[in-house]
Amino acid sequence: MTETPTAPTTSVLIVDDQPMQRFGFRMLLESQDDMKVAGEAGTGTEAVRLAAELAPDVVLMDIRMPGMDGIEATRRIIERGPVPRILILTTFDMDEYAYAGLRAGASGFLVKDALPEELLAGIRAVAAGDAIVAPGLTRRLLDAYVHHLPAAPGAPAALDPRVAALTDREREILTVIARGWTNTEIAQRLHLAESTVKTHISRILAKTGARDRVQAVIVAYDAKLVEPT
Q: What does the H/E/C string look like for 117-174?
A: HHHHHHHHHHHCCCCCCCHHHHHHHHHHHHCCCCCCCCCCHHHCHHHHCCCHHHHHHH
* Secondary structure (3-state) at 2: coil
What pLDDT is stored for residue 92 in this prediction? 64
What pLDDT is stored for residue 203 in this prediction? 93
Same domain, 110 and 143: no
Condensed to tens digits (0 to 9), the pLDDT of residues 205-228 reads 999 988 878 788 888 888 888 776
Residue ending a domain, among 132, 157, 175, is 132
Measure the CA angle with vertex 70, ends 91 and 140; round to 5°: 55
What pLDDT is stored for residue 102 in this prediction? 79
Backbone angles phi, psi at 203, to 5 degrees: -70, -35
What pLDDT is stored for residue 93 in this prediction? 58
What pLDDT is stored for residue 149 in this prediction? 47
> What is the arithmetic mean of pLDDT over 141-162?
56
Q: Which residues pair with 123 in a beta bridge?
A: none
Same domain, 96 and 113: yes
More confident residue, 162 or 96: 162
Q: Is residue 3 part of a domain?
A: no
Residues 50, 77: Cα–Cα separation, whole Å: 10
Torsion angle of C-alpha atoms 22, 23, 26, 27, degrees rounded to 10: -150
Residue ending a domain, among 132, 156, 171, is 132
Q: Is residue 96 part of a domain?
A: yes
Condensed to tens digits (0 to 9), the pLDDT of residues 184-194 reads 889 999 999 99
**CATH number, domain containing residue 123:** 3.40.50.2300
Supply the range of the domain harboring residue 43. 10-132
Backbone angles phi, psi at 14, to 5 degrees: -95, 125
What pLDDT is stored for residue 105 in this prediction? 84
Composition of the chain by helix, strand, coil, percent to 5: 50, 10, 35
- Local structure of residue 102 (DSSP, 8 states): H
Condensed to tens digits (0 to 9), the pLDDT of residues 3-46 reads 555 667 999 999 999 999 999 999 999 999 999 999 999 999 99
**Residues written for the chain:** 229
What's this model's pTM, rounded to 2 decimal places?
Answer: 0.72
Identify the weakest region by mean pLDDT among 5-19, 45-59, 73-87, 92-106: 92-106
